[in-house]
Amino acid sequence: MRGAPLLLLLLAGGGALAAEPAAPAPPASAQAAPAVAAPNTLVTFKDPDKFIDAGTDGIGSRTSPQVLDALKKHLQQLGARWLPAGQTLQITVTDIDLAGRFDPRPGRDNRVRIMRDGDWPRIDLHYTLKQDGRTLQDADAHLSDMSYLMNSGLTRSDDWLRYEKSMLDRWFAKTFAGRP
């Protein structure tokens, strides 16, 4: 029982500490918002419902927002990596034909994309590279990778768009590497 007064004193003191009001938050104007850099690569899709194969269910299926979003993010990451400060890139994707095809045989899970040599990825686009309002490049690009099964490597073996992204990586490096 000798420890009881000490325990009561500790509990009372702890309660007083817990009841202590918290320090007021600084005013909103004093809180710094994290800086978010605007992307230097703007990606748009022209008539995506007419793309050959940009869906998750094969040719003739609806264009998938997940496919478009993943390719858009990848192109923006490439722009951030390869383009020097002050340059902006506008890309308009005009067609997509993903690698492989869905096997339409009855009794099969039609959501499995089968990769064959004859079903290589293709992406058509138009791009404009600018610096300080001046156009440096303005061109169409027709990307395809007939050797996609050998070219993509194992770096993205878990990425379902690895063949298209590898093709975009090579095009971006070839087109924009070494620019001032």
Q: Which helix (H) or strand (E) holds 169?
A: helix 162-176
- pTM for the full predicted model: 0.72
Could you tell me the residue ranges of all domains in the chain?
37-174
Q: Is the pLDDT of residue 41 over 80?
A: yes
Over the stretch 82-137, which tens digit does the pLDDT of each residue have?
Answer: 999 899 999 999 999 988 776 666 665 556 666 677 788 899 999 999 998 899 99
Residue % of the chain over a pLDDT of 70:
63
- Give the integer Cα–Cα distance in Å for 62 and 167: 23
pLDDT, residue 46, reads 97
Per-residue pLDDT band for 163 (boundaries 50, 70, 90) equals confident
pLDDT of residue 156: 61
Chain segment 59-95, per-residue pLDDT in tens: 567 888 999 999 999 999 999 999 998 999 999 999 9
What is the distance in angstroms between the CA of the first residue and the CA of the last residue of the chain?
81
